[in-house]
Chain A
Amino acid sequence: MLIIGCGNRQRSDDGAGILVAERLRDLGIPAETRSGEAADLIEAWRGADDVIVVDAVMTGAPVGTVQAWDARQPLASVSTTASTHGLGVAEAIGLAQVLQCLPAQLQVYGIEGRRFEPGAEISPEVQRAIEDVARRIIARLSA
């Protein structure tokens, strides 16, 4: 299982994915951190067959909402990621599908953020969602 947390720790709630990865590492579970840039993500998961990606999103849902989706399902409803990079997780998945290099299993957790301004502060709802996602990943690992 490859776990990748995406985002920028200096962009407020955009740090959510990174913080999930760090939380897991604190518990002794290996997890990578990435910017979330599409080409980089594709290289990161190349060769892996079971992958979890965590990123902050902005879909209009209440702040702190966790959306989990299977990357093999259509991504129309989650194409509005709030990544501060030109091509993000949704584009990485779309591109990997076309190039036929999508991992056999790819689960994405999107944490709804509120603020994406410069700064290290995380919204309290997002903080709780980070714990929630970490717990859900641990549960999946122990299943």
Chain B
Amino acid sequence: MTVHGTRTIRVDTLARVEGEGSLYIKLVGERVADVKLKIYEPPRFFEAFLRGRHFSEVADITARICGICPIAYQMSAIHAIERALGVRIDPRVRLLRRLFYCGEWIESHTLHVYMLHAPDFLGYQDVIAMAGDHRAVVEKALRLKKVGNRIVQLLGGREIHPISAAVGGFYKTPTKQQVRDLVPDLEWALEASLETVRWTAGLKFPDFEQDYEFVALRHPDEYPFNEGRLVSNRGLDIDAAEYEDHFAELHVKHSNALHSVVRGRGSYLVGPLARFNLNFDKLPEVARQAAVDAGLQPPVKNIFRSIVVRAVEIVFACVEALRVIREYEPPAAPRVEVPNRIGVGQAITEAPRGILYHRYALDENGLIVTAKIVPPTSQNQKRIEDDLREYAAQLVAWPLEEATWKCEQAVRSYDPCISCATHFLKLVVEREDAGN
């Protein structure tokens, strides 16, 4: 079908992303004339809010930026401050932090795979409609998510905005028995996550491959959570301290959020696909095999397949949690005392939806002089627009409703945490047919 004139596709509410925002796509004939993802940025508010606070308050404050990934915010903040102050943590504390992150990945990925993204693939309006036909699947999702929640509660100390993580360690660490009590749940979760990989692999994926610059942490021995160098498939290999030398944030007129780019190159992709493609060799055997059986071989370049990669990462998180629990010995002290001093520190950790960069400058009293937070969704934002420019071009012949649906599904593939990169996101996909 040949289309003449200007068309715009509009959807007023983008559901099933965390929060709300807006997306606008304008088609002129068969050309995509404009793509604008509008988001707002609370982390910028928090940067100002953090100034003048003592570093010991930062973990608690940053945990409130996002209800879905509070651990990521805490971990990036704590690691950055520890680097600023030259703190060395107990290796047993380091292990516990990996367990903490496992809990968040299990929770967040399960929520996204089953409750936010799967309905798109199965043609349901939402998970409520899906549950009518797939009750056992949704029940399993709730149970799986709860396993992650149990880990976060044990280490975080309460149900929302965990408070136990601290600069230097934890305020309180669990006993050996307490972590061992998680084992039966995690053994069940491992099986459930393997089923999740098989189940998601059976979904139907649009044919849409792009040539991404994937950016993720890489650690010599581990699939990354808290540590490693920041690498890409185009030769980037840097320490977190060099992040701002290699990445720039651009103001764009249509959004309060800043667009991140690799200096001299442009947009890039963070999150499950990037981690998987750059760290496939670091996955435990069972996760790697599950991926291969599901037809995933790096590089995976189809963003829609990130739902399968998320499932593989749930497998990883379960295996890793079980490993940590086997090795766990409570540290002699939950945390090391950290004196006030002047310093600057940067850290990057892997939030479920991609790398999260924090930088803090501290004065001699341990007070925050400057804070900088670059959330994963603003790093992906330009890439989402670039992808939609390509993807919308494939959709020009589709009826409005289906094109809109497909654009929403595409946006959800990035698991945009709009409540951390933005506040209310409204998706607007507008189309005007020839002659209108």
Q: What is the interface of chain A, defined by CB distance below 8 A to chain B?
A: 8-11, 32-40, 42-44, 84-87, 91, 94-95, 98-99, 116-119
Contact = CB atoms under 8 A, between A and B. Distances in A.
Given A91-B128, A94-B128, A95-B127, A84 B145 contact: no
28 contacts: A9-B64, A10-B64, A33-B159, A33-B160, A34-B159, A35-B160, A37-B67, A39-B111, A39-B115, A39-B141, A84-B18, A85-B18, A85-B68, A86-B116, A87-B126, A91-B127, A91-B128, A95-B128, A95-B131, A95-B138, A98-B135, A98-B138, A99-B135, A116-B423, A117-B42, A117-B45, A118-B45, A119-B45
B19 interface: yes
A125 to B, nearest CB: 20
B67 A84 contact: yes
B328 to A, nearest CB: 25
Nearest to A119: B45
Nearest to B15: A86
Contact of A85 (B46, B67, B131, B146): B67
Contacts of B146: 39, 43
Interface of B: 15-19, 42, 45-46, 49, 64-65, 67-68, 110-111, 115-116, 126-128, 131-132, 135, 138-139, 141-142, 145-146, 149, 159-160, 419, 423-424
Given A34-B160, A84-B19, 10 more contacts: A8-B67, A11-B423, A33-B160, A35-B160, A39-B110, A39-B111, A40-B159, A86-B111, A98-B128, A99-B139
A44 B16 CA distance: 21
Nearest to A97: B128
A56 to B, nearest CB: 13
Contacts of A44: 159
B159 A84 contact: no
Contacts of B17: 86
Contacts of B110: 39
Contact of A118 (B16, B46, B68): B46
Would you list the 10 A-B pairs with minimal beta carbon distance, nearest first?
Answer: A35-B67, A118-B45, A118-B42, A94-B128, A10-B64, A98-B131, A84-B419, A86-B18, A35-B160, A39-B145
Given A98-B135, A118-B423, A86 B16 contact: yes
Nearest to A18: B160
Contact of B423 (A40, A95, A117): A117
Contacts of B135: 98-99
Given A87-B115, A116-B423, A118-B42, A98 B15 contact: no
A11 B45 CA distance: 11
Q: Which of A9, A32, A33, A86 has the most CB of B within 10 A?
A: A86
Contacts of B65: 10
Nearest to A8: B67
A86 B65 CA distance: 15
A12 B141 CA distance: 31
B423 A86 contact: no
A25 B160 CA distance: 16
A10 B116 CA distance: 24
Contacts of A91: 126-128
B16 A87 contact: yes
Contacts of A94: 128
Contacts of A117: 42, 45, 423
A37 B16 CA distance: 11
Q: Which of A9, A42, A44, A95 has the most CB of B within 10 A?
A: A95
Q: Which of B15, B64, B67, B68 has the most CB of A within 10 A?
A: B67
